[in-house]
Chains A and B, each alone.
Chain A
Amino acid sequence: EAQVTQNPRYLITVTGKKLTVTCSQNMNHEYMSWYRQDPGLGLRQIYYSMNVEVTDKGDVPEGYKVSRKEKRNFPLILESPSPNQTSLYFCASSLWGGGRPQHFGDGTRLSIL
């Protein structure tokens, strides 16, 4: 089954404790992206990657890091999480070009105390 898998689905942690949210897709997609969803703001792009070793900032990259060492994986790293990063996070992937629709993971609910 074609899918984007995120882990964990829920996480409660404390300020300053490094965490990683994993994202993996099995569709051989070139393009992968991370979004955060906040009430009244919709989804906003954090980082994206157009292929292995090619990443770039989205609209709200501060406080986040990413890497793309393999085509299927695109982890999101919070080196020193803060309460303002409490949010719902989505990973998405798509084929390159032509307005291809993005396929989304099931989301990660992150709470930072």
Chain B
Amino acid sequence: AQTVTQSQPEMSVQEAETVTLSCTYDTSENNYYLFWYKQPPSRQMILVIRQEAYKQQNATENRFSVNFQKAAKSFSLKISDSQLGDTAMYFCAFMRVKETSGSRLTFGEGTQLTVNP
């Protein structure tokens, strides 16, 4: 079974600074996908970024980028130029893709990020 671990329950950062959220996972699969989701106080689940395991290049979406280390099974999220609206719970998620079980997501415990003015 896959497991996803986020070892930082809470983090804080000053507005305009950079912060990195950690995520590690355990799997025996070679082909999979990794995601970061954001959950603001409105509790919506918002996709931040997606990484395909077979791609070496790290995914980037505007101020959000990942450091994907496949051998180390590590998938950290870097937020640059932090904004107050980035305050949210962030979840790392692993997707194993198999014909028999579809697009199944396994989530980490979450990291509560607070951006301070």
Contact = CB atoms under 8 A, between A and B. Distances in A.
Q: Describe A's contact surface by its main secondary structure.
A: strand
Interface string A90-113: 101010111111101011000000
**Interface SS of B by simple majority:** strand
Interface string A71-82: 000000000000
Interface string B27-52: 00000110100000011110100101
Nearest to A54: B102
Given A42-B108, A42-B109, A43-B91, A106 B102 contact: no
What is the size category of the interface that chain A forms with chain B?
20 to 34
Interface string A20-52: 000000000001010100001111110010100
Given A40-B109, A90-B45, A107-B43, A97 B103 contact: yes
Contact of A99 (B6, B33, B43, B91): B33
Contact of B43 (A94, A100, A106): A106
Interface string B93-117: 1010100011111111110000000
4 shortest A-B CB distances, which residue pairs?
A: A99-B33, A42-B107, A104-B45, A43-B107
